[in-house]
Amino acid sequence: MSINCFRTAKVPLQSFVAVRTNSRPRNSSNRLVSVFGSKSSLSFVTLRVVSSMAYEKELDAAKKAASLAARLCQKVQKALLQSDVQSKSDKSPVTVADYGSQAVVSLVLEKELSSEPFSLVAEEDSGDLRKDGSQDTLERITKLVNDTLATEESFGGSTLSTDDLLRAIDCGTSEGGPNGRHWVLDPIDGTKGFLRGDQYAVALGLLEDGKVVLGVLACPNLPLASIAGNKNNKSSSDEIGCLFFATIGSGTYMQLLDSKSSPVKVQVSSVENPEEASFFESFEGAHSLHDLSSSIANKLGVKAPPVRIDSQAKYGALSRGDGAIYLRFPHKGYREKIWDHVAGAIVVTEAGGFVTDAAGKPLDFSKGKYLDLDTGIIVANEKLMPLLLKAVRDSIAEQEKASAL
C-alpha cells in the first residue's frame, strides 16, 4: 500500500466577513468568537460563514477515521494485556491501541482525501516500535489495523506490512503552524483512563491557517444519556459510546458511536447562577491542580462536588450540558499540547460555550505543537464566564501571595 505523507499546499481559510459588535447577534447563522477583557467585559467578533457546507467532505472523512480508530481501541481495551503497555520517555503509558489508532486515522484520511493537502500533527511516532525487541508488538499492531480496515469496503482487501504501519504512524510528525491545513490528532486522549477501563477519546481536529474549523470526538465509554450528578461518570442508559462533531459556523452534533442513528444538535448548559453549576476537571491530579480548582469553585459558590473525567470526553459532555464549567490548571512547567484541546474546543464553542486561558484569551493553535497559555484553560457558557474569570484571577492571586510568604 502506498503511503504518501505531507502533501503540502497553501489552502486559504474559508472566506469570512468579520463584523465587530457589542451585543450578541440575533441571526442564529452567525458565529460568536468571544474576547474577554481584563475586567471581564465582553465584546464579540461575529463571523458569518459564507458556505456552511465547506467542510462536508472533510467531516465525513474525520467521522469515519475516528469511528474506526475507536473500534480498534474498544477491541484492545476488552482484552487488555500487560504486554500492550509500553513506557514512553515522559513516563506516561502508551498502548498498542495508541499506535494502531494513529495509523488508522492517518490511513483513512489519506484515502478519503487523496486529492487534498495532507499534514497530520499527532501525539505518537514510531521510534519505540523500531527498537530491538519490539517486533512482536509491531506485528500485533499491524494485525489490529488490518483487521479494523478490513471492515471497510473502500480499502478493498489491502493488507499493510509492518513497514507500511510504521510509515502511517510517522505521517503524524508534522509540526503544524499558522499556514495551510493541518489535521491534529490525539489517538487516545486519556491513556490512563483507557487502561483503567474508564473514559478516553479519539480526538481529531482540523486547523486552517491556525484556526480550528472542524472537530470530532469519539468517546467509546461515554453514555449517550447525561452523566450529570453521577459520581461514576455513567448513566442508567444501555446506550454507550458517543460521537461528537462540529464544523465552524454549523453547530455541534452528537450521535451514538458506530450507529446509523440520526445526529442531534447539542447546546452547552444555560445555567446562570454559579451555585447551581457543576464543574469538570481532570481525573488525574497530576494533570490539573485540584486545590486551585476547589478554591475557584468556593469563590463562585458552587455546591456540587467536582466531576472528574479523563480525556476530552469532558468537552463532549460539556457541549451537551452535562456540566457548566471545566477547569484545567496544569502543574508549573507543563506545556499544553494542541492535540489535547483542538477537537474539544470547537465542539464546545460551536455548542455555544467559550474556551479561553486563565486570562480570558482565546486559545491560539497557530504556534505549532504547543499552546502558549496564561496559567490554564477554563470553559463556561457566556453568562458564567465573567464570574469565572474573576474567581480565577482572585484565586491565582491568593495562591501566589501565599507562596511568596
Handedness of CA 288, 289, 294, 299 (dihedral sign): negative
Please tell me whether 350 is known to bind a ligand: no
Radius of gyration, CA atoms only, the chain: 21
In one letter, which amino acid is 326? Answer: Y
- Asked if residue 358 lies in contact with residue 379, where contact means CB atoms within 8 angstroms, the answer is no
Cell numbers placing 339: 492535540
Residues 6 or more apart whose CB falls under 8 angstroms from that of 341 comprise 312, 355, 363, 365, 371, 377
Q: Is 189 annotated as a binding residue?
A: yes
Known binding residue 398? Answer is no
Catalytic residues: 98, 191
Query: Is 240 known to sit in a ligand binding site?
Result: no
Is 209 labeled as ligand-binding?
Answer: no
Residue numbering of the annotated binding site for Mg(2+): 123, 186, 188-189, 340
Residue numbering of the annotated binding site: 123, 186, 188-189, 340
